[in-house]
Every structure is written in C-alpha cells, then in structure tokens.
C-alpha cells in the first residue's frame, strides 16, 4: 500500500522558530540513534517514522555512525525515503553529523576537512539524498583548528550538500568561537545539540544564555536520559529496554543509581495525571532557549505518549520547586 500522510498533520503541533533563523522545527523531534539500525526490526522503525510524520514531527535526526552497525540507520532511512517518503522531502528536516569514529585510518573521525566532507558524501549516498537540511560537527576536535572544522561545514553549504550547519557537544567557549567563525564565513550556526535532561543540566548556566544571545537554536538530546526519565524502570529492567540490550549505551548500574529520584519524580508526574516521560519533556521545553526536544523511541506508543507532553498544563511554580528539591537532594 502506498503511504499517504495524514491530511491534518500540520494542525497538530505549534512549530517553533530555531533561534533567530528562518527555520521552524516541531517541538518534539525524532532521533534515529537507537532502534533503527541493522540489528533492529525494520517494520517497527518504518511504523515509528511514518507515524511521527503523520503527527507533525517533521524533523528526523541522524548521524553517520548510528546503527549498529555504523551507517545502517542512514541506510534504513534512505530506503524508506526512496520507497515511501520521497514525495514529502520538502516537508522534512533531515540532519546528519560527522565526528565520531566511522572508518579506519587517520581520516575516519574527529574534525578535519577531509573527514567531514567525505563523511557527508557517504551519508548522502546511504540516504539517497541530494542534500541534508542540517549538517553537524558531532563533537569538537581538540587537535584540528576550529577554523578548519567550521570551514568544512561552510563548504558543505556552498556545495549545496547542506542547507544549514550546527554543532554538537561543544563547550560554551567552543560554541562562542565556532559561532564567530561561522558568522564570518556567512554560514551562521543554526543550532546546538547538547545533552540536556533533569539529570544533566550543564547547559543551564552559560550555554543557553549564549545561544539566546547569538540567536542559535537548541535541540537537546536524551531529554528522557535514555529512558531513565520514564516509568519503565520503576519495578525492574524490562527485557526489551535499552538498559537490557548489550549494544545499548545505558548500563544497568545507572538505573540503580537514579532509581530513588526516578520514583520521586514519577510521583510528581502521577499527581499531575501524566507520565514521567511527558513531565520530563515539558521540563526540558520550559526554557525559551530550547527549540525542540530530540527524543528516541522503540515503539509507536512511546511517540504518542511523548506527544502528550505538548497538550498538558504547564508545570506550576510549586511543581517546578518540588522537582528542583528532588534533583538537588
Ligand atoms: P531519550 O532520552 O528520549 O531516550 C529514548 C528512549 O527512552 C527510547 O528508546 C525508549 O527506551 C525510552 N522512551 C521514549 N519514550 C518513552 C515513553 N513515552 N515511555 C517509556 N519509555 C520511553 O533519547 P535518546 O537517548 O534515544 O536520544 C535521542 C536522540 O538524540 C538520538 O536518537 C539522537 O538523534 C540524538 N543523540 C545525539 C547525541 C549527540 O552526541 N549529538 C548523543 C545521543 C543522542 P527503550 O528503547 O528502552 O524502550
């Protein structure tokens, strides 16, 4: 059967301007780090992407190394684009990144011009795309001049292989410098992708104010702390959860470490009549510097649950204070 998206999909969400740029993003975006690789069930990945798009989620985030094996998430996504989503390419924001290890030898990781531009060509090949909407430097490279890394991003735009550029995992100082270089190169930085959730708040004191000042958007990854900030680990570690998977990045000991706080946060969410995942997403989106929450999912029902966050009543001062007390204990 040919896929046809829901007619009313753009009535479902309020799109958010990314910093002071012309681009708007959905308040929730879907990342393909886990659950869309060669080890995963393609039918489930297909259903999640098509359903997300039906619900108005126009932004899909990838990287060269997503899988496992590395590259397989882009291949999977490319197959879906070719078979079903191509007619809607102009309604989608597709991002990819380069920075982590991708191939052997001295040119397969970090931030050289050689690596970034070769990797982007490979990503476009795997996804069968002429261009990506956003191309990121996935991590700062301590040994490559920032001018070279940012220059490679600007070249990608000049070549028509990316429309916008972004940085991920850059510190405050690195972001400040990167933004200045990109401005000089007439390729302004669109967006920063840092980790941000209730258990990791490094961005709050300096990075977010800087992004607001610079007019750069912010797309926090792991808003649910890889699933810790959901109800799934309250009783045990479910067999199909990320913490139970050998290739996952969430290890069992982290569940035990955070469980007391997870339980208390879950009580606050229950008192609000919502899931902990919904509250965690609302909490991330509460700050004006945040453009969109970049979630992951392993099933369609999780995407729907997360979208419920956008319909819930705002967190009150009392609820925010209660959350603050739990987090700082
Ligand atoms: P999250 O913190 O949103 O965790 C997603 C996981 O939480 C899901 O796989 C699922 O776990 C669980 N989950 C999601 N929704 C629910 C729900 N409603 N109820 C119960 N469980 C739920 O994000 P990710 O860690 O997946 O990261 C999101 C994206 O961020 C990535 O796909 C990637 O695009 C990006 N990213 C970027 C990085 C960077 O360096 N730039 C680094 C890491 C991520 P389960 O699988 O157990 O069901």
Full pLDDT tens readout for the chain, 329 residues = 679 999 999 999 999 999 999 999 999 999 999 999 999 999 999 999 999 999 999 999 999 999 999 999 999 999 999 999 999 999 999 999 999 999 999 999 999 999 999 999 999 999 999 999 999 999 999 999 999 999 999 999 999 999 999 999 999 999 999 999 999 999 999 999 999 999 999 999 999 999 999 999 999 999 999 999 999 999 999 999 999 988 878 888 899 999 999 999 999 999 999 999 999 999 999 999 999 999 999 999 999 999 999 999 999 999 999 999 999 99
Distance CA 27, CA 13 (A): 7
The full set of domain ranges for the chain reads 9-227+269-328
Q: Which CATH class is domain 9-227+269-328?
A: alpha beta
Which neighbouring-strand residues pair with 94?
Answer: 60
Nearest residue CA, atom 47 of ligand 1? 241
Angle at 273 between CA 304 and CA 259, to 5 degrees: 85
Residues contacting ligand 1 via CB (< 6 Å): 31-35, 61, 138, 168-169, 193, 221-227, 230, 232, 241-242, 277, 294-298, 302, 305-306
Query: Token pair 């039918």 is at which residue?
Result: 43
Distance CA 249, CA 245 (A): 9
Tokens read off for 199: 């258990």
Distance CA 291, CA 196 (A): 12
* Cβ count within 10 A of residue 50: 18
Q: What is the pLDDT of residue 121?
A: 98
> Checking DSSP bridges between strand 24-25 and strand 16-17, what pairing results, if any?
antiparallel
Query: Is the pTM value of this prediction over 0.95?
Result: yes
139 CA closest ligand 1 atom index: 40
């Amino acid at each position: 059967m040919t896929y046809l998206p829901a007619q009313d999909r753009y009535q479902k969400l309020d799109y958010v301007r990314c910093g002071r740029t012309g681009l708007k993003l959905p308040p929730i975006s879907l990342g393909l780090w886990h659950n869309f690789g060669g080890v995963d069930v393609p039918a489930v990945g297909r259903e999640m992407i098509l359903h997300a798009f039906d619900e108005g989620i126009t932004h899909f985030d990838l990287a060269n190394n997503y899988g496992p094996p590395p590259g397989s998430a882009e291949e999977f996504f490319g197959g879906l684009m070719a078979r079903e989503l191509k007619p809607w390419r102009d309604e989608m924001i597709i991002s990819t990144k380069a920075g982590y290890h991708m191939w052997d030898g001295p040119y397969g990781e970090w931030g050289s011009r050689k690596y970034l531009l070769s990797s982007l060509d490979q990503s476009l090949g795997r996804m069968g795309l002429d261009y990506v909407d956003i191309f990121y430097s996935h991590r700062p490279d301590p040994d490559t001049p920032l001018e070279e890394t940012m220059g490679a991003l600007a070249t990608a735009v000049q070549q028509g292989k990316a429309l916008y550029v972004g940085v991920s995992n850059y510190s405050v100082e690195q972001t400040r410098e990167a933004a200045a270089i990109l401005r000089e190169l007439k390729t302004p930085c669109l967006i920063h992708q840092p980790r941000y959730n209730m258990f990791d708040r490094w961005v709050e004191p300096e990075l977010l104010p800087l992004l607001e000042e610079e007019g750069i958007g912010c797309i926090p990854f792991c808003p649910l702390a890889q699933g810790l900030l959901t109800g799934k680990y309250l009783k045990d570690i479910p067999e199909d959860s990320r913490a139970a998977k050998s290739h996952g990045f969430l290890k069992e000991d982290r569940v035990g470490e955070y469980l007391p706080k997870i339980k208390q946060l879950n009580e606050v969410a229950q008192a609000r009549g919502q899931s902990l995942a919904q509250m965690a997403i609302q909490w991330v989106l509460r700050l004006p510097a945040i453009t969109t929450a970049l979630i992951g999912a392993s099933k369609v029902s999780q995407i729907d649950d997360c979208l419920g966050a956008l319909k819930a009543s705002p967190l009150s001062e009392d609820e925010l204070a209660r959350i603050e007390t739990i987090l700082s204990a």
